[in-house]
Amino acid sequence: MKIIAVGRNYAEHIKELNNEQPDDPVIFTKPETAILRTNEPFYFPDFSTDVHYEVEILVKISRTGKNIDEKFAHKYYDEIGIGIDFTARDLQSKLKAKGLPWDLAKGFNGSAPISPFVPKTEFADLQNLNFRLDINGETRQQGNTSLMLFKFDYLISFVSRYFLLQQGDILFTGTPKGVGPVQVGDRLTAYLEDRNMLEFDVK
């Protein structure tokens, strides 16, 4: 199982970080050891003082495929979920300044809390799906999949040109604007529409 993540997929988030809008999806990966399941707590790492939350819709791959045509991509996933792409922003900035990969800032232990997955058929329109992240009861991020630069099916098609997609792989599809730091003691709650999908503490 692998985690494939998409950066810079919402225009307003690109602006808030002063990045350039990409012509193609920006892809990075996280190891399986990044995953936190069943609302396990996130332990703030000792190598960073500026860890940011990034709430994202997740797509779970249901069958093996490569070089998938976009018009067939919907056949390769049956379930979606929600997750957090934790980013050590201070470390990422140092690495980017030197032109180095982001792996240490994105793939560290526990950096990918994920919700249970639910059938995509439970949602009326995947291209108009609301999601949000609350911290200590206050909404910090709100997004809608209609604002994605690259939609689910295109992302699956694009990624499958480079990586063999296998059953159980997880695709993080990008974060909307509103990212910011977490602190020890925070409680994060993530919603798909109004459904509480993920809730955990920062320790």
Q: What is the pLDDT of residues 52-102, one digit of tens each?
A: 999 999 999 999 999 999 999 999 999 999 999 999 999 999 999 999 999
**Model pTM?**
0.95
The pLDDT confidence band at residue 11, using thresholds 50, 70 and 90, is: confident
**How far, in whole angstroms, is CA 7 from its chain's centroid?**
8
Which pLDDT value is given to residue 21? Answer: 75
Q: Is the pLDDT of residue 10 over 90?
A: no
Q: What is the pLDDT of residues 20-52, one digit of tens each?
A: 777 899 999 999 999 999 999 999 999 999 999
The pLDDT confidence band at residue 7, using thresholds 50, 70 and 90, is: confident
Which pLDDT value is given to residue 17? Answer: 65
Q: What is the mean pLDDT of residues 137-159?
A: 96
* Sign of the torsion angle spanned by Cα atoms 50, 56, 62, 68: negative
For residue 188, the domain's CATH number is 3.90.850.10
Which pLDDT value is given to residue 14? Answer: 59
- 57 has which bridge partners? 82
The pLDDT confidence band at residue 168, using thresholds 50, 70 and 90, is: very high
pLDDT mean across residues, the chain: 95
**Rounded CA separation 111/40 (Å):** 12
Which pLDDT value is given to residue 12? Answer: 74
Question: Number of structural domains, the chain?
Answer: 1
**Rounded CA separation 152/27 (Å):** 14
Helix and strand tally (H, E) in the chain? 4, 15
Number of Cβ within 10 Å of residue 122's Cβ equals 11
Q: Is the pLDDT of residue 16 over 80?
A: no
Instruction: Provide the domain limits for residue 57.
Output: 3-201
